[in-house]
Structure 1
Amino acid sequence: MTESPKLAQIISLILKSYQIEDIEPNVINQLLEFASRYTNDVLHDAILYSEHAGKNTVDLTDIKLGIQGRVNYSFSVPPPKEFLVELAHQKNKQPLPPVYEKYGIHLPKPKYCLTELNYTMVPEVNSQAAPASTTANISAAANNTAAKNDAPNTPTTDSSSKPDTSITLNQELKTNPQPPVAAEVKKEE
């Protein structure tokens, strides 16, 4: 077994002084890495501050300024315990919603579920007045089909000629004041 470095032993003693004895060996390695990185960053900042001041050497004021910069901008200070206790009391004053006795999984309101629609469709509305009712008329082009059926059976040379089947769809919507649109669908087999 190799002997750990002196800094690792110091970190281990610091942890034991806080009654932290049951730790994994990787924790000490992580703390060593943090201490090394923090020291390098503070010294690098101190060098930059001394160069900016026009000094050839780094003195104590540069190191203090580097530490202060790291403390102010690298670490966050937790809020005081009294503030957190007061916040907890305010939150705990609100009663919990009642739990209804029903079978199955209790889900939150539909607006908080992932199954709720996350979009809305807004129809285009023009400034003109819309028709009063919605009509949909579907009519087959019976005239063409009836005319072909009434014609005498004569042989044709074109084998691709099939009866013409077409559907005309006229639809007026309440939200669309424009004239109805006729769509023809032709099926060719």
Structure 2
Amino acid sequence: LELERYFHKEIARVQAQWYGQQSGKGVKHPVTSKHIRKLYKRKQDSVTDYLHKITRYLAEYCREQGITCVVTGDIRNIRREKDLGHRTNQKFHNLPYNRIYIMLEYKLKRYGIRFVKQEESYTSQCSPLSPEVGKRYAEPSNRKERGLYRDGNRVYNADAVGAYNILRKYHSVSGVKKELSVTGLKTPEIIKVAV
């Protein structure tokens, strides 16, 4: 995210400077400079490098922990027909979901680990203690603020609740009967991957 911000600001600064110079010279339709193209390439390469680091870390972690199946929320259509405001829309469109899925899937496959994408409607709105994940038990008002899910007097990490419910939803769809523990949903472990 920091890389993204740095390149965004730097590209905007260089573009403004370049187009200002071209406009001063009377050029109506200036061509992008080599410097700007180089910055875009560096940004793209940095993002790709970071995605490889993240997906490699996850694949290695799963192999070390003996995990045989990874279930992830399928969010490729999250942006469709939604207007979340100019800034949020821009952030959503910059996230390369499909590239993450492809990279993670082939890296997991090398270790014989199955990769499953699960449709995730209502997973972030249902309590981890609700009988099932669905519209009937969804309570959007429980998402009090970014990163916080409140269920009565219990407080959970919102992202952990979403992930937990994606797994519950996968189990119900696939017919797997498995008891899951809510331990760790309050304070999940945060892992930092080097840039």
Between structure 1 and structure 2, the one with the greater Rg is 1
Task: Report the structure, 1 or 2, having the larger helix content.
Answer: 2
TM-score, normalisation: structure 1: 0.24
